[in-house]
Structure 1
Amino acid sequence: MQYRDRGVVLRTIKLGEADRIVTIITASNGKVRAVAKGARRTRSRLGGLIEPLRHVDLQMYRGRGELDIVTGAVTLDRWPEVREDLERLGKAMTLAEAVDQSVHDRGDDPVPYQMLVGALGRLDQADSDMLVPAFLLRLLSHEGTAPMLDGCVMATGCEGAAIVAFDPALGGVTCETHRRGRPMSPDALALLRSVAAGQVNAALEAPTGPHAREAAAAISRMWEYHMDRRLRSADLLDS
């Protein structure tokens, strides 16, 4: 069956001597794994189009096997500012890896695709320390595993107690009375609450500093707890 869709290439791996297997998050078909035949040949036009972090309009063929076949592609966006800046490139790779980890093959949920295209477009325009943690938090929320940030997860016996820590195993923040997890400052908590409330632009415009890094570390721990694996691309940002 032939079909057409838009998608962002998340990653590629070699297949045989000339082909590639590409993983793509699409607008209408969820996460798709497909073979790009001949993509590694020097003269292959397809090979230059099917590469990580490229937004493409795809012609695909779905057969009986697990892998579809890419029959054609046209570039929609390649986000040049992201590619020319190593810091932004590392963040973009983390966004793509997060989508790859959290989305199952196939499906018809357009939100991860829409989120990734929006985040990469924003990153191409301007960098922000909060872009990756905001994206991860919104993706966790979409998956139904967002941390509790409005009040202590212990719920009872917290009257008047200040929020002072964050514990991914408990699912959110804890107060002075039930202190668990790592310390969290009021400013870092405010950043996370603004993202959770949908005020993403305000969080992205927050100045670079320790509070943004603290918020990012908390969300990374939450992500690793729920996904049970690290975001390897995020390690590049800390190196």
Structure 2
Amino acid sequence: MPTYRDEGVVLRTHLLGEADRIVTLLTREHGKVRAVARGVRRTSSRFGARLEPFMVADLQLAVGRSLDVVTQAVTLGAYAPVIVADYRAYTAATAMVETADRLTDEDASRQQYLLLVGALRSLARTEHDPSLTLDAYLLRALSVAGWAPSFGDCAVTGEPGPHRAFVPHLGGMVSEDAAPPGAMRIDEGTLLLLASLLTGDWATAEGAPQGVRARASGAVSAYVQWHLERGLRSLEHVDRGVS
């Protein structure tokens, strides 16, 4: 049975039989992979804890007929224990891996893998507020997938901004002439935060007040839900830290 090595982040797992799991991975070189991890639910398993959601591992896999088989796993990023211990980080990470699962397939780009690993690492290290990290990840993941939002020029006509109407199905900010009735309106501060999250301007993003962050999160959620067609179940459970 031929084998191969790759790095992978665990997106989700399913029980299989009494001791096995099916593990869905986003890998660096092979896109999304579904593989069987045999015996990982036994207390004697050598790498069961290394194949939990949010973990990143160096993997050896054997090619199977329908599912590959994990034969070795060495931890590269032990992010799961830290993330699971923080509810806000956990809900954000859950939305991230669901998004990655929905956006990728076996031909997924390396950029999607690196983006997800970087976001999980940031959560585990508490580098930024979990809500900001999630929104930045969602905007960038959609951009890599070909749905980059426009926060400057009109997404329909190309007319220079700034504009105030935000229309997810038209690609972002649009001019008044292109905006349909009832379009979401975005104030200057929220627009600045959205652009900062997309470009990685963390100094500006972290200076945004809570109200602006909440409005930006609403716009990001609307954009994600439209382009993924079916809503993200995990997104409605994200703890945004708003009392």
Displacement, 1:151? Answer: 2.3
* Aligned AA (2:157): A
Note the alpha carbon deviations across 1:118-157, whole angstroms, 9 max, x for none. 111111222423211111111111111112221233428x
Deviation of 1:111 after TM superposition, in Å, equals 0.8
Counterpart of 2:107 in structure 1 is 107
Task: Determine helix, strand or coil for the equivalent of 1:46.
Answer: coil
Contact 1:162–1:176 under 8 Å retained in 2: no
Deviates more, 1:227-236 or 1:21-30: 227-236
Which consecutive unaligned segments of at least 5 residues does structure 2 have? none
SS at match of 1:58: strand
Matched-pair contact (CA < 8 Å) for 2:191–2:216 = yes
1:237 paired to 2:235: no
Deviates further, 212-221 or 167-176: 167-176
User: Match for residue 8 of structure 1?
Assistant: 9
Q: For 1:182 and 1:108, how far apart are their aligned partners in 2?
A: 32
> 1:86 and 1:203 mapped to 2: Cα distance?
25
What is the deviation of 1:176? 3.9
Q: Assess if the C-alpha contact under 8 Å between 1:90 and 1:237 holds in 2.
A: yes
| CA offset digits 1:140-198 (Å, max 9, x no partner) | 11111112221233428x68x862221112221133444432121111111122233x2
After TM superposition, what 4+ stretches of structure 1 lie above 3 angstroms from structure 2?
Answer: 175-180
Equivalent pairs counted in the alignment come to 234
1:53-72 deviation line (CA, Å, top 9, x unaligned): 11111111113x23110011
Counterpart of 1:141 (choices 136, 140, 143) is: 143
In the alignment, the residues of structure 2 paired with residue 89 and residue 203 of structure 1 have an alpha-carbon distance, to the nearest angstrom, of 25
Q: What TM-score, normalized by structure 1, do the two folds share?
A: 0.89
Report the alpha carbon displacement of residue 81 of structure 1 after superposing the two structures with TM.
3.2
- C-alpha change, 1:19 and 1:187, in structure 2 (3 Å) is same
Identical amino acids, percent of aligned pairs? 39
Taking a change above 3 Å as real, the CA distance of residues 4 and 193 of structure 1, as seen in their structure-2 partners, is: same
Q: Which amino acid aligns with 2:117?
A: V
* Structure 2 equivalent of residue 57 of structure 1: 58
Preserved CA contact (<8 Å) 1:166 1:183: yes
Provide the aligned C-alpha RMSD in A. Answer: 2.2
Structure 2 Cα separation of the partners of residues 166 and 68 of structure 1: 43
* In structure 1, C-alpha distance between the alignment counterparts of 2:229 and 2:165, rounded to whole Å: 21
* Secondary structure of the structure 1 residue equivalent to 2:49: helix
Hey, what's the Cα distance between the residues in 2 that align with 1:234 and 1:12?
19
Task: Note if 1:217 corresponds to 2:201.
Answer: no
Decide whether aligned partners of structure 1 residues 200 and 69 sit closer, same or farther in structure 2, where only a CA change above 3 A counts. Answer: farther
Once the two structures are TM-superposed, the CA of residue 238 in structure 1 deviates from its matched residue by 4.9
Equivalent residues of 2:56, 2:76 under 8 A apart: yes
After TM superposition, give the deviation of residue 207 of structure 1 in Å. 3.7
Matches within 5 A, 1:1-150: 1-63=2-64, 65-79=65-79, 80-104=81-105, 106-107=106-107, 109-126=109-126, 127-128=128-129, 129-150=131-152
- How much has 1:208 moved relative to structure 2? 4.7
Q: Any conservation in 2 of the 1:9–1:22 contact (CA below 8 Å)?
A: yes
* 1:187 paired residue number: 189
CA 1:204–1:44: 2 relative to 1, 3 Å: farther
Report the AA paired with residue 123 of structure 1: L
* Aligned equivalents of 1:32, 1:203: Cα separation in 2: 37
> What does the per-residue CA deviation read over 1:37-61, in whole Å, with 9 as the maximum and x for residues that have no partner?
1122232223222111111111111
Write the deviation string for residues 78-118 of structure 1: whole angstroms up to 9, x where unpaired.
224322211111111111111111001x2362111111111
Q: Structure 1 residues 83 and 208, CA, compared in 2 at 3 Å: closer, same or farther?
A: farther
TM (norm. structure 2) is 0.87
